[in-house]
Structure 1
Amino acid sequence: MESTNNEVAREFRLFKVYKDGRVEKFHNTQKVPPSTDSVTGVQSKDVLISPEPAVSARIFLPKIHDPTQKLPILFYIHGGGFCLESAFSPMFHKHLTSLAAEANAIAVSVEYGLFPDRPIPACYDDSWAALKWVQSHSTRSGTDPWLNQYADFNRVFLGGDSGGANICHSLAVRVGSIGLPGVKVAGMVMVHPFFGGSAVDDEMWLYMCPENGGVQDRRLRPPAEDLAKLGCDRVLIFFAEKDHLRQVGQWYCDELKKSEWGGSVEVVEHEDVFHLRREPEGEKAQDLIKKFGSFIKQN
């Protein structure tokens, strides 16, 4: 009986599935509490957006020098292949602290549902619920005082890496299709975006999304009509030269430029870098932070 329970039915890049239905992930996610960064002065705190389904976020507030100044909002969606990582992990906590300081922006980092506990499309739905929660503060009467007091809702930026960048795309399409009253999404930043592209990655995403449209599912292969609806004027895409997703990311970039969207696309590529593998204090990681921040400061 024990050998039957431990028999593997499917194995993917990030997890394996046993014949009895258990899912074993290949990476365990650590979490750290919110804090105040001693170097930058960026404060962070956690907020509950929805108790059921459970959606929360970590908000980062840069050091305030002028209380009357309104700050842009970076709405960030972490990567992790739709099944790993967290807005509360050490890597993303540090990343968002750096981005909030560099861009002088309020960052809202979303903690969304992950496979297998909550299969796709939970990640898309939770992220939309979080964006709607941010929107609820545009009247200055929301539940979070930082957003009520300091946020500039005419300068909202969507940002994410890998699977998070994929979710950003879907949010931008939704904003462009149905609107987000009281909020202006000024731009979107995609870091090493995931859109499948290989049989391995396509099969993994399709497995995590029981109700799907196959490899041409519009969330996996955005059609021209969706690209034309992006609800922002500017897009910045970061590529890593040795990323296994580099080719499909270029496909997305080319299709966006060919579409009827009409906005501007900026591309930054880092040589000799793999998918999301970068030293936090390394030169290329710092360059990414600076260019990310500069993109937000342009508005």
Structure 2
Amino acid sequence: MDSATADVAHDFYPWFRVYTDGRVERFLESPLVPPSLDVRSKDIAISATASARLFLPIAAAPNEKLPLLIYIHGGFFSIESPFSSTYHGYVNSLVAQSKVIAVSIQYRLAPENPVPACYDDCYAVMKWVAQHKDCAHRPGLDPWLSEHADFGKVYLAGDSAGANLGHNMVVRTDGDGHWLKKFSGLVLIHPFFGNEEPDKLWEFICSDSGGVNDPRLNPAAHPCLLSKLRCEKVLIFTAGLDQYKQRGCTYYAALKKSGWEGAVEIENAPGENHVFHLSDPTSDKAKAMMKKVASFINPANMPPLCEKEAGCAINSA
């Protein structure tokens, strides 16, 4: 069959379409960009399927220890990359503002690589990062992490599907001796979680789905797992016009009720859509969100929000 005339077999627009000849067409993707110069950055191949872009502030002094941020990009498990202009720009700006060292994870995308490939790739990067803890230089390790990462201040963050992956990495690393007893914090921006209704996209891209209450998809349905979340604090962002807003609110409520002993905070941006901060990063609300995240992961480096900034995006959900 001619690829140009193939029929649509599965339509998940605006994320992707799968045609009867096996071709996958993606939408909403940003162009790829090289590592930057304003904040030092470089790309690292970690395994045959996983890689990352590392970011280090130019202002970092030799051997200066900085909080470590592990960032996981969104895109409904099927589009985008840490190398795209969208995510490179966001993490680059966050590193510059917060003065942290960051690892932005590249994972395999669905539907060609069904779930759990993305979870496995993120975990592979997490294990690689953890090898730098208390280690001198040796083959396979990166000197930026060995010299500058403070493993007493490790944060995970992600948006949309990346927030889902971030939560699951905290859960999955439980019992991994490389990591500390607790992560310092978890940032969930407009998280993509499930609810009690079937999700056609998840069912299509997941090769081992446990249904609507799969703990990877719907953590709110598993209070026992939430109660053991190895994280000191959690910051959740929602957006007023986001169709997934209630998923973040449900996670927040379930975490509070689970008996978990950490601190959880939720912020809502009224009148905004899903991941608005990426599509319009110069807006007042996006700038206020950026400053909130930066102060969460490195409060020692950040002045408090001014009155105007606090009024832009900081609202009770």
Q: TM-score normalised to the size of structure 2?
A: 0.86
Worse overlay, 274-283 or 164-173: 274-283
Q: Is the 8 A contact 1:233 1:263 kept in 2?
A: yes
Correspondence for 1:18 = 19
2:307 corresponds in structure 1 to: none
Pair 253,18 (structure 1): closer, same or farther in 2 beyond 3 Å: same
User: How far 1:235 moved relative to its partner?
Assistant: 0.2
Aligned partners of 2:195 and 2:213 also within 8 Å:
no
SS at the partner of 1:158? strand
- Cα shift readout 1:258-288 (whole Å, capped 9, x = no counterpart): 1122111011111211001231111111111
Tell me by how many angstroms 1:180 deviates. 4.2
Task: Give the secondary structure class of the aligned counterpart of 1:178.
Answer: coil
Q: 1:86 maps to what in 2?
A: 81
How far did residue 186 of structure 1 move? 0.6
CA 1:25/1:198 → structure 2, altered by over 3 Å: closer, same or farther?
A: farther
Give the superposition deviation at 1:182. Answer: 4.7
CA distance, structure 2, for counterparts of residue 28 and residue 87 of structure 1: 11
Within 1, Cα distance between the matches of 2:29 and 2:92?
22
Residue 91 (structure 2) pairs with residue 96 (structure 1): yes
- The equivalent of 1:290 in structure 2 is 291
Query: Which deviations, in whole Å up to 9, do the C-alpha atoms of 1:102-133 show, x marking residues without a partner?
Result: 22100100011101232111111111110111
State the distance in 2 between where 1:190 and 1:73 align.
16
- Which residue is equivalent to 1:214? 211
Question: 2:6 corresponds to which letter in structure 1?
Answer: N
- 1:241 to 2:250 alignment: no
How far apart, CA to CA, are the structure 2 residues paired with 1:272 and 1:119?
34
Unmatched 5+ residue regions in structure 1?
Answer: none
- Whichever residue aligns with residue 11 of structure 2, its letter is E
2:304 corresponds to: none
The 8 Å contact of residues 197 and 245 in structure 1, kept in 2 or not, is answered as: no
Partner of 1:151: 149
Pairing 1:181–2:178 present: yes
RMSD: 2.0
Instruction: Give, in angstroms, the shift of residue 298 of structure 1.
Output: 3.6
Q: How many residues align?
A: 291
1-side partners of 2:210 and 2:60: how far apart? Answer: 50
Quick one: structure 1 residues 21 and 97, their matched pair in 2 at CA, closer, same or farther if it must change by over 3 Å? same
Does the CA contact (< 8 Å) of 1:5 and 1:18 recur in 2? no
Aligned partner of 1:281 in structure 2 is 282
Cα distance in structure 2, aligned partners of 1:4 and 1:35: 37
CA contact (8 A) 2:3 2:23 kept: no
Deviations 1:2-52 (A, max 9, x none): 599622222224222223333322334421000212xxxx111111111x2
Structure 2 letter corresponding to 1:250: C
- 8 Å CA contact 2:42–2:54 kept in 1: the answer is yes
State the secondary structure of the residue aligned to 1:130.
helix
The aligned residue for residue 232 of structure 1 is 231
Deviation at 1:65, TM superposition (A): 4.8
Give the aligned partner of residue 63 of structure 1.
Answer: 58
Identity of aligned residues (%): 46
Contact 1:140–1:149 under 8 Å retained in 2 = no
Give the conservation status (yes or no) of the 8 Å contact 1:135–1:180. Answer: no
Q: Output the TM-score relative to the length of structure 1.
A: 0.91
Given the alignment of the two structures, is residue 137 of structure 1 paired with residue 132 of structure 2, yes or no? yes
Counterpart residue type for residue 17 of structure 2: K
Distance change in 2, residues 1:64/1:221 (3 Å) = same
SS at match of 2:170: helix
Check 1:91–1:145 CA distance in 2 against 1; reply closer, same or farther (3 A cut).
same
Q: Does 1:171 align with 2:169?
A: yes
